[in-house]
Amino acid sequence: MKDLAHLPENLATVPAQGYPCELHTDHAPEPLFNHRHHIWPLGLGGPDESTNVVFVCPVGHDRVHALLRLMYTHDGSVPWTLACHFGSKERALAKMGYERAKGTLI
Ligand SMILES: [Zn+2]
Ligand SMILES: [Zn+2]
């Protein structure tokens, strides 16, 4: 697998075959391309390096960023009535990003 960590996230489309979605095993339809997501978002000072990058499907990518936005608007404690609409891996990935970024915002 190629190291694509040097590419900015907006150029981050990769073939789904070879870079499978880390959030879901089943997709309908199967995506042709997946996205590089920065766990600790670049826009919040996250590093553009492979340890901060995961591959996710386009839908999952949107959902993780939506959940990250919810975490910021709720100081990290998203009410379950909202959080329950996200899968456990989506919640875990967003939480990891929120936690990594949090330390830098103090
Ligand atoms: Zn992302
Ligand atoms: Zn997915």
The structural domain count of the chain equals: 1
The band of 1, judged by pLDDT with boundaries at 50, 70 and 90, is: very low
Report the separation in Å between the CA atom of 34 and the middle of ligand 2, taken as the mean of its atom positions: 8
- CA separation for the pair 74, 59 (Å, rounded): 23
Buried b (16+ CB within 10 A) or exposed e, 36-64: bbbbbbeebebeeeeebbbbbbbebbebb
Give the pLDDT of residue 44: 84
Would you say residue 3 lies in a domain? no
Would you say residue 6 lies in a domain? no
* Mean pLDDT (the chain, rounded): 88
Residue 19 Cα to chain centre, angstroms: 14
Domain that holds residue 62: 13-104
| Termini Cα distance of the chain | 36
Give the pLDDT of residue 88: 97
Give the pLDDT of residue 106: 45
Instruction: Starting from the CA of residue 90, give the closest ligand.
Output: 2
Q: What is the mean pLDDT of residues 44-48?
A: 88
Would you say residue 7 lies in a domain? no
Tell whether the model's pLDDT for residue 35 goes beyond 90: yes
Would you say residue 34 lies in a domain? yes
pTM: 0.85
Ligand 1 is an ion; residues with CB less than 5 A from it:
37
Instruction: Starting from the CA of residue 60, give the closest ligand.
Output: 2
Mark out the alpha helices in the chain (DSSP H runs): 58-73, 80-83, 88-102
Helix, strand, coil percentages for the chain (3-state, nearest 5): 40, 10, 45
Would you say residue 44 lies in a domain? yes
Q: pLDDT per residue over 72-99, tens digit each?
A: 999 999 999 999 999 999 999 999 999 9
Would you say residue 80 lies in a domain? yes
Instruction: Starting from the CA of residue 25, give the closest ligand.
Output: 2
Report the separation in Å between the CA atom of 23 and the middle of ligand 2, taken as the mean of its atom positions: 5
Reading phi first (left if > 0) and then psi (alpha if -120 to 50, else beta), residue 77 is in beta
Q: What is the mean pLDDT of residues 20-34?
A: 95
Report the separation in Å between the CA atom of 106 and the middle of ligand 2, taken as the mean of its atom positions: 32
Would you say residue 1 lies in a domain? no
